[in-house]
A and B are shown apart, each in its own frame.
Chain A
Amino acid sequence: MIRLEKRPTPSQTWAYLTPLVAVVATMIAGGVLFAFLGKDPIVAIRTIFWDPVFGEFAFYYRGQLLVKAGPLILIAIGLSLGFKAGIWNIGAEGQYIMGAIFGAAVGLAFYPMEARWLIFPLMIVAGALGGFLWAMIPGILKTRFNTNEILVSLLLVYVAESILASMSLGLLRNPEGAGFPGSRNLRQYESAANNELIAGWGMHWGVVAAFIAVIFAYILLSRHIMGFNIRLTGESPRAARFAGVNPNRLILFCLGLSGALAGLAGMFEVAGPAGQISIDFNVGYGFTAIIVAFLGRLHPIGILLAGLLMALTYIGGEAAQASLGLPAAAIQAFQGMLLFFLLAFDVLTNFKVRFGREATV
């Protein structure tokens, strides 16, 4: 007979250990999955997790690591603040798209003016604003009409995707693009490009912003009253109300900030690695960031590490696709599995597992 006994306080040790246990369990289960697909599991796992960092072509992949981790960390930091307080923004993908559209639109409006000191900062502001406004829709609907923010933010992703398609076919289409969908390439426009800061490192302004966001979130949560209110609301909404926390302000703050960060991520992506607004611009960073936030235990430093790990699965997945013919969808399933295992092993943080019959108290 196996029983669960509630711990008086969550175990600190297990809180740190579960992500690691979950990663190991996912590797094993992933190995089984890959074996099912007719691939050698050991080789597949090594291709995904080892070769990109230490293998023969690591010099290329290491740069890609930061490129992928940047937006993931940036979005996940924003989401984690809301998740901590029980505010579920799961439409980061839509905010990411809107940030990219706003940022790119500002950049393209100035084309071909040469004034990087003006245009690039303006694009950053516009990107954050785009994501912020898009996240304010569920925020205001939640605070004014008590509408479920989970559903609204998610449904708005599909609306944002429609707007993205419309923009890349219409308003933002490259006038010299021979009628092909997609905007001008911002990377070829000196004043708006978000290029690598150090060649080969993958370090661009978006990654810098992600690191700043990590530090900012760390200070906010550990030193600032807003961070305290967020944690308090998450632990006990009633106690927070008695302590004078304004729930509506907290909702708007969490949604707005996570939207702005997701918008920033989109803007840096469109001006850098992606280069242009196109129909298939978004690749699901907004959804993977949810996994990153949980894997990082909703803690800024944890998210930094989780973002790097998740970026590794993206890059390793691409490598495995090229060298082993592993389907791209396998990595997506793999990432979903990781979140499952994490949530499953989390039981050890809050409960003790007891074997044998119930002891008399």
Chain B
Amino acid sequence: MDLSINPILLVASLMVASTPILLAAIGEMVVEKVGVLNLGVEGMMIVGAICGFAIAVETGSPAVGFAAAAIGGAILSMLFGFLTQYLLSNQVATGLALTLFGLGLSSLMGQSYVGIKPPSTPKLDIPLLGDIPVLGPMLFSHDLMVYVSLAIVAGVWGFLKYTRGGLILRAVGESHDAAHALGYNVILVRLAAIGFGGACAGLGGAYLSLVRVPQWTEGMTAGAGWIALAIVVFASWRAGRVLLGAYLFGGITVLQLNLQAAGVAIPVELLSMSPYLITILVLVIISSDRNRAALNAPASLGRAFHASS
């Protein structure tokens, strides 16, 4: 059996495969840090995917497409924000509604875009760095969004750790009553985080439709949003580990695709379900350590805030 998997190409495609999930997961991590559980990641991703795709096709510019995807995801997340923050609806149910609605809305919007090729997103050829023999093609010859996603992760990490804004954000997530008593506007902080999460999910979706696939098909996110949610749990709400989790997951996805292509004697169905099975396995391992899982989860996660109570 010839296992001709090129490790350089593997790492390069790993970074591309991980980027959508990384973007969605880092956004959702911020949302959960502020004490809100938004299960609508899948819906926001797929709406971002079609928004980005449609605008990129119409304008011919992938950059405008990505911007539109972020805006689309953020608008959709505001629907969730309004319902959960002002009308105090159940976050789990509202998130599910967002996913179901997003899937319907996206296929409605995408009807006339099936089978079209989007404008290609240019790869950055970074001089000098890109010419390094092995590392160059691995790390430094991607499109801009790969680096943007890494920058967002670094930015979120720095923001949460070093800035006053990050402290307020975490305070709201740990105890909204205490944050309220200190005079912070809990609802506004949460809405801002929800919007950021929506924009990130939208970007992730657009990366799928514009770069990774690149095409529009109905339901193309195929559970990526749910895997992003799982990665946040896996990462125990830490930015660095979100990166690790997303790349680990991307690696598995790419590896199984390569194994399928190489014709390894493992049934194709087993390979294609492996990312989901491994995600479940990882979730089990992480959550079985009850103390650690409970220690890191934001204390107000999923609880509604009403000033009078």
Q: Which residues of A are in contact with B by a Cβ distance under 8 Å?
A: 4-6, 37, 88, 90, 141, 144-148, 150-152, 154-159, 162-163, 165-166, 287, 290-291, 294, 327-337, 339-340, 343-344, 346-347, 350-351
Contacts and interface: CB of A to CB of B under 8 A. Distances in A.
B39 A150 contact: yes
Contacts of B233: 148, 151
B276 A148 contact: no
Given A146-B287, A148-B283, A148-B287, A329 B272 contact: no
Contacts of A343: 83, 87, 89-90, 93-94, 97
Interface stretch (B101-109, B134-142, B205-213): B101-109
A359 to B, nearest CB: 12
Given A151-B229, A336-B101, 20 more contacts: A4-B308, A6-B309, A145-B288, A146-B290, A148-B283, A150-B92, A158-B273, A158-B276, A327-B111, A332-B108, A333-B101, A334-B104, A336-B102, A339-B93, A339-B96, A340-B83, A340-B97, A343-B90, A344-B87, A351-B88
B68 to A, nearest CB: 18
Counting from the closest, the 8 A-B pairs by CB-CB distance are A336-B101, A332-B104, A333-B104, A329-B107, A166-B269, A162-B273, A145-B288, A339-B97
Nearest to B110: A329
B96 A145 contact: no
Contact of B276 (A145, A159, A336): A159
A151 B306 contact: no
Interface stretch (B11-19, B162-170, B219-227): B219-227
Interface string B276-303: 1101100110011010010000000000
A90 B279 CA distance: 17
Q: Is the interface of A mostly helix, strand, loop or mixed?
A: helix
Contacts of A334: 104
Contact of A155 (B90, B223, B269): B223
Contact of A6 (B105, B226, B308): B308
A346 B93 CA distance: 12
Given A145-B288, A162-B273, A327 B226 contact: no
B267 interface: yes
26 contacts: A4-B306, A90-B96, A141-B283, A146-B287, A146-B293, A147-B287, A150-B39, A151-B280, A155-B279, A155-B280, A158-B222, A158-B223, A158-B276, A159-B276, A163-B269, A166-B267, A291-B97, A291-B100, A327-B107, A327-B108, A336-B103, A340-B83, A340-B98, A340-B101, A346-B89, A347-B88
Contacts of A346: 87, 89
Nearest to B42: A154
Given A147-B284, A158-B223, A327-B108, A163 B101 contact: no
Interface residues of B, number: 49
Contacts of A4: 88, 306, 308
A345 to B, nearest CB: 8
A160 to B, nearest CB: 9
B218 interface: yes
Contact of B230 (A151, A159, A294): A151
A330 B276 contact: no
B116 interface: no
A248 B269 CA distance: 33
B154 to A, nearest CB: 26
A145 B40 CA distance: 25
B79 interface: yes
A90 B99 CA distance: 12
A339 B90 CA distance: 12
Given A340-B101, A343-B94, A347-B87, A155 B108 contact: no
